[in-house]
Amino acid sequence: MKRRSLAVVCLAWGFLFALSAAAYGQDPNVGSWRVDPTKSKYNPPNLAPKSVMVKSSPAGQGLNVVVDVVDNTGKPLHYEYTVTYDGRDVTVKGDPNRDTTAMKRIDDLTFEQTNKKNGKVTTVSRFVYAKDGKSRTQTTTGMNPEGQKVDNTVVWLKQ
């Protein structure tokens, strides 16, 4: 009887551990994200996009990212990349502001992304996810391809 009780308790703990590991192991990047322009600040402000939508899906140990932007002039842009969290550069297809990007996972809710154009770092972004998974805040600093200083705080909402 004691063995059976011990086995049931061990199974219950194992089940709870598996559930918590699955919950904490999920990538907060995964899903569809939209910029909330009312809570976001762009510097220079005249370069703020009209809209941005990101769809991220799991890809091996990383992420496949598809981005649709309507830029400040109303021009639509579409770009894609697949990245792991090892800090290595990967090619970005279709983005005029960068040709490579690299991501590192800092902790369960924080990621750092480094963007380059022609091999030179242009911007670094830090993404911090809310614990409820419904929003994220991206701070970006550096220089855009036109040589202007960039200092953005962008709030994203999960769709």
Q: What is the CATH number of the domain that holds 82?
A: 2.40.128.20
Strand partners, 32: 55
| pLDDT value for 10 | 41
Could you give the 3-state DSSP secondary structure of residue 89? coil
| pLDDT value for 24 | 42
| pLDDT value for 145 | 80
Quick check: is 11 in a domain?
Answer: no
| pLDDT value for 113 | 98
Number of domains in the chain: 1
Domain residues for the domain of 99 are 27-158
Quick check: is 150 in a domain?
Answer: yes
pTM value is 0.82
| Local confidence pLDDT in tens for the 159 residues of the chain | 655 554 444 444 444 333 333 344 689 999 999 999 999 999 999 889 999 999 999 999 899 999 999 999 999 999 999 999 999 999 999 999 999 999 999 999 999 999 999 999 999 999 999 999 999 999 999 998 888 999 999 999 999
Structure tokens at 4: 């059976």
Task: Give the DSSP H/E element, type plus range, for residue 69.
Answer: strand 62-70
Quick check: is 111 in a domain?
Answer: yes
| pLDDT value for 135 | 98
Quick check: is 14 in a domain?
Answer: no
> Alpha-carbon distance 115 to 5, whole Å?
55
> Alpha-carbon distance 20 to 39, whole Å?
32
Quick check: is 145 in a domain?
Answer: yes
Quick check: is 134 in a domain?
Answer: yes
Quick check: is 139 in a domain?
Answer: yes
What is the DSSP secondary-structure string of 2-34?
Answer: HHHHHHHHHHHHHHHHHHHHHHHHS-TT-EEEE
Quick check: is 7 in a domain?
Answer: no
